[in-house]
Amino acid sequence: MPVQAAQWTEFLSCPICYNEFDENVHKPISLGCSHTVCKTCLNKLHRKACPFDQTVINTDIDVLPVNFALLQLVGAQVPDQQTVNLSNLGENKHYEVAKKCVEELALYLKPLNGGKGVASLNQSALSRPMQRKLVTLVNCQLVEKEGRVRAMRAARSLGERTVTELILQHQNPQQLSANLWAAVRARGCQFLGPAMQEEALKLVLLALEDGSALSRKVLVLFVVQRLEPRFPQASKTSIGHVVQLLYRASCFKVTKRDEDSSLMQLKEEFRSYEALRREHDAQIVHIAMEAGLRISPEQWSSLLYGDLAHKSHMQSIIDKVSRVLYIIFYFDLNICYLSLGLLYV
């Protein structure tokens, strides 16, 4: 039965016995799956598998190296070196260089002011997302191939986040906002401001949440008529652009009719405000990323909601859209390689 993993901020203690790692009894041993458990608990396992995700431990536990990066963070005595037997001398050399790099990067997780085994990183120079990515890297094990692959992914993710935050620190907020809305308008869409956009989306939902199918013209007119008392600036053009944004996000099921306007029906999975709003926000984030804009969760929250209370919501959307674009990019890249290969057959 898998054990529930601890919170990521509790990376300085064993997630099974909850004792803080040390250099004697509770030595931190990172597994190929990137979970770290003290050596005492590992030796008590009934089967050689990670207690969290059941990944089989292929290397003998006594051969797996102690995670010096974590030891140094708990203030324990860190030995000068430890013997690790890899397949050849070259691998040993690269292992030592990589291990040293991770240990040096781990020092950025200080100061540690929390309780036993828990890192309080509030005064760290790193942002919360950077801290989390660095903790992931520190828990990677470099002896086994799976661990090295995970470490490469974690290092790349950390590097990408570093570049993004560097760009964010040097961006002009006004210019960023102007570039974003210009990119949105270039795609025939529009954002009307946090308050007006929210009301427009709720009215679209009101018109279509019961499964009704309306033409775009009727839907736009319905929204404009109900918006005008509160927002006199509402127009058919601007609301049409909001509907176009939802259309780009594939929120509608469209039924074509001969010699008449197509009917738009809201897909069942978007017939709640939370679901519709999430897809709407994701489409704007997608447009921004396509335009090469880098915007922090805090900035997104301010731009789309007029407050900072939606940072977590926006972070989850950014992560999801980034994954989708990453998959699309590599799919296109593979098609390109395949096409080039066929040219030379």
Structural domain boundaries in the chain: 28-113+124-170, 177-332
Amino acid at 235: S
Please report the pLDDT score of residue 331 as a whole number: 58
User: Contacts for 171-175 with beta carbons within 8 Å, 24 or more apart?
Assistant: 171/294, 173/299
Tell which residue, 131, 139, 140, has the closest CA to residue 162: 131
Question: 177-332: what fold?
Answer: Four Helix Bundle (Hemerythrin (Met), subunit A) (1.20.120)
pTM confidence score: 0.62
Which residues, listed in sequence order, are joined to residue 263 by a DSSP beta bridge?
215, 255
Tell which residue, 250, 267, 252, 262, has the closest CA to residue 215: 262
Amino acid at 122: N
Positive or negative torsion for Cα 79, 31, 35, 319: positive
Please report the pLDDT score of residue 120 as a whole number: 55
Please report the pLDDT score of residue 345 as a whole number: 42
104 exposure class (CB count in 10 Å sphere: 0-12, 13-18, 19+)? exposed
Please report the pLDDT score of residue 93 as a whole number: 80
CA distance 117 to 19: 7
Per-residue pLDDT of the chain (345 residues; tens, 9 = 90+): 455 556 777 889 998 998 999 988 999 999 989 899 999 999 998 888 888 888 888 888 888 889 999 998 888 887 777 767 666 656 778 888 888 899 999 888 875 545 555 555 555 678 888 888 999 999 998 888 888 899 999 999 899 888 888 877 777 888 889 999 999 999 999 999 999 999 999 999 999 999 999 999 999 999 999 999 999 999 999 999 999 999 999 999 999 988 788 999 999 999 999 999 999 999 999 999 889 888 888 899 999 999 999 999 999 999 888 877 666 555 555 656 555 555 444
User: Contacts for 268-271 with beta carbons within 8 Å, 24 or more apart?
Assistant: 268/211, 271/205, 271/208, 271/209, 271/211
Please report the pLDDT score of residue 344 as a whole number: 47
Q: Who contacts 226 (Cβ-Cβ below 8 Å, separation ≥6)?
A: 203
Tell which residue, 16, 70, 50, has the closest CA to residue 147: 50
Cα→Cα distances 118→17, 33, 70, 299, Å: 14, 21, 12, 29
Please report the pLDDT score of residue 333 as a whole number: 55
Q: Where are the beta strands (DSSP E) in the chain?
A: 28-30, 36-38, 213-215, 252-257, 260-266
Contact between 84 and 95 (Cβ < 8 Å): yes
Please report the pLDDT score of residue 343 as a whole number: 47
